[in-house]
Amino acid sequence: MSTPSTPTFGIGMVGYAFMGRAHSQAWRNARSFFDAPATPHLAAVAGRNEAAAAETARRFGWESVETDWRRLLDRDDIDVIDICTPGDTHAEIATAALQAGKHVLCEKPLANSVAEAELMVEAANTAQAQGIQSMVGFTYRRVPAIAYARNLVAEGRLGRILHVRGHYLQDWLTDPTSPLTWRLQKERAGSGALGDIGAHIVDLAQFVTGEQLVGVAARTETFVRERPLGGTPSVTSLGGTAAGDSATQLGPVTVDDAAIFVSQLTGGALAVFEATRFATGRKNAIRLEVNGTRGSVAFDFEDMNVLHVYDADAPTRDAGFTRVLVTEETHPYVAAWWPPGHVLGYEHSFTHQAVDFLTALAEGTAPRPGFADGLQVQRVLSAVEDSAGRSGSWSSIADVSAQAGVR
Ligand code: SOE
């Protein structure tokens, strides 16, 4: 329960599937493990599928169920709208919630287009003048090893940043019979691997270095262009279950299956990014390496409690990457959980996100990443699609020959 000194914020969550469950556990744990200066009250979960929303409510202890998210905006017991729905709904829900005086936490990517993201930033800025806050859910920033990496860069331990390489690899679409779910439809998801998982590595690169991407040259590909219609989406998996009968109709995949792009950051560093759902054998493999003049850091989500740190100033005989187990009380977030060595998992970053959001609300400060940070990522995604669509930066090898004057 909230104490007299800590306010309670009623949460109204829109969506109940994978992200809805990740956020639900976060609101439940925020006050169990952290002395957050505010208490979340799980007031309502909203979803058009009443039975599915009711199941999430039952499992996670939400007090009520709504089948229309707009009802949440009318309720006085709700102070926060937590958007856990596909990207085509983010702009409408977030702008309406902010205008109704509700704080907003919105899942990534912020929107399906730069135009939508700009409208959301405008609404967020107007609302913030009235003390209404907003945040976008790039949760991997809140993995302790990533937050520790950012601290090392900010302290100057890597010197000037020269290289960033990031990849986010999944393989849940390698089966061509995996159904045509919302993540494969541009009008629902905005883009494919690029916006769903590429957005994360763009945010991580900017968060850890403290710099921004200034330009890209890109290529995207859709390996499977048609998929079975009528599949059953799953709450616990990404692909869902195919309809299965031979009469199943096929529908067009209208997003990228994979995206690769090179970039440069404001400080001059060169960067390389890869996001794919076809890296056979890689389930949720996020890797980030940052090289500087005085050192490097390397992170692998498949070993998420570790940061590999290279100190170029160390004596030559000691040269090498140090495997830092990021579970000490001095590391970000860890002290609230377990003693050193008792590692954390995927879900803990969502709790860190909930705690940081509640803390910002209680203190009346602007949580990060805000909608403006989300807009910056959206601009990068749009630039990648623009570059890939133009193929302007692509030099065909077949065209390279002495005769053609290209050496
Ligand atoms: C699907 O790729 C997904 O659920 C992403 O949408 C999440 O942001 C990521 O954390 C896990 O994978």
Boundaries of every domain in the chain: 8-140, 143-368+379-387
Per cent of the chain over pLDDT 70 is 94
Q: Looking at residue 395, what is its pLDDT?
A: 74
Say which CATH topology domain 8-140 has. Answer: Rossmann fold (3.40.50)
Tell how far the Cα of 263 is from the centroid of ligand 1, in angstroms.
23
pLDDT for 316-353, tens place per residue?
999 999 999 999 999 999 999 999 999 999 999 999 99
Here the tokens at position 395 are 């030099």
Distance between alpha carbon 382 and the CA centroid of its chain, in Å? 16
The stretches in the chain having pLDDT less than 70 are 1-4, 231-236, 241-247, 392, 403-407
For ligand 1, what atom is nearest to the CA of residue 18? Answer: 4
Q: What tokens appear for 139 in the block?
A: 């949760």
Q: How far apart are CA 63 and CA 390, in angstroms?
A: 50
Helices (H), 1-159: 18-33, 50-60, 70-74, 90-99, 114-128, 144-154
Shortest-distance Cα residue to atom 6 of ligand 1: 196
Cross-strand pairs, 44? 12, 64
3 state SS of 35: coil
Half-sphere exposure of 333 (CA within 13 A, CB side): 26
Phi/psi region, residue 61 (left: phi>0; alpha: psi -120 to 50; beta: rest), is left
Euclidean distance between CA atoms 382 and 194, whole angstroms: 10
The CA 170 to ligand 1 mean position distance, Å, reads 9
* Closest atom of ligand 1 relative to the 199 alpha carbon: 8
End-to-end CA distance of the chain: 71
CA-196 nearest atom, ligand 1: 6
How far away, in angstroms, is 108 Cα from ligand 1 center?
9
Q: Which CATH architecture has domain 143-368+379-387?
A: 2-Layer Sandwich (3.30)
- Nearest Cα neighbor of 184 from 138, 250, 140 is 250
Which residues of 125-257 form beta strands (DSSP E)? Answer: 134-137, 161-169, 213-221, 226-228, 250-252
Residue 13, H or E segment:
strand 8-14
- Which pLDDT value is given to residue 379? 97
Tokens of 367: 């949580």
Distance 366 CA to ligand 1 centre (A): 25
Report the nearest atom of ligand 1 relative to the CA of 200: 8
Ligand 1 atom with the smallest distance to the CA of 107 is 8
Cα-atom radius of gyration of the chain, to the nearest Å?
A: 22
Q: Which atom of ligand 1 is nearest to 193's Cα?
A: 2
Q: What is the pLDDT, as a whole number, of residue 307? A: 98
d(CA 15, ligand 1 centre) in Å: 15
Which residues contact residue 92 at a Cβ distance below 8 angstroms, ignoring those fewer than 6 apart?
A: none
* CA 172 to ligand 1: nearest atom: 2
User: What pLDDT score was predicted for residue 290?
Assistant: 99
Which atom number of ligand 1 is nearest to the Cα of residue 140?
Answer: 10
> What is the 8-class DSSP label of residue 3?
-
Expressed in angstroms and rounded, the spacing between residue 349 Cα and the centre of ligand 1 is: 13
Ligand 1 centre distance from Cα of residue 197 (Å): 6
Q: Which of 181, 234, 238 to mutate to test the pocket of ligand 1 (most atoms within 8 A of CB)?
A: 238
**Residue 267: partners with Cβ closer than 8 Å, 6 or more residues away:** 160, 161, 209, 211
| Minimum CA distance residue for ligand 1 atom 9 | 197
The token pair at 9 is 């914020």
Task: Tell which one of 143, 196, 352 to mutate to probe ligand 1, the residue whose CB is within 8 A of the most ligand atoms.
Answer: 196
Query: Which residue, 318, 373, 371, is CA-closest to 133?
Result: 371
Looking up tokens 């997003």 gives 255
Q: How many CA atoms lie within 13 A of 111 on its CB side?
A: 25
- Whether residue 332 is preceded by a cis peptide bond, meaning omega within 30 degrees of 0, is no
Q: From the alpha carbon of 22, which atom of ligand 1 is closest?
A: 10
C-alpha 196 – ligand 1 centre gap (Å): 6
Q: Which of 23, 84, 174, 197 most suits a substitution to test ligand 1, by most atoms within 8 Å of the C-beta?
A: 197
User: For residue 258, how far is its CA from the centre of ligand 1 (angstroms)?
Assistant: 14
Each as own residue / partner, the long-range contacts of residues 345-350 (CB below 8 Å, 24 or more positions apart, any chain) are: 345/304, 346/22, 346/284, 346/304, 347/22, 347/25, 347/26, 348/143, 349/139, 349/140, 349/141, 349/142, 349/143, 350/22, 350/23, 350/25, 350/26, 350/139, 350/142
Alpha carbon distance 167, 162 (integer Å)? 17
Cα–ligand 1 centroid distance for 65 (angstroms): 25
Structure-token pair, residue 107: 């899942």
Q: What share of the chain is helix, strand, coil (3-state, %, to 5)?
A: 35, 25, 40
Ligand 1 binding site (Cβ under 6 Å of any ligand atom): 18, 170, 196-197, 238, 284
Expressed in angstroms and rounded, the spacing between residue 79 Cα and the centre of ligand 1 is 26
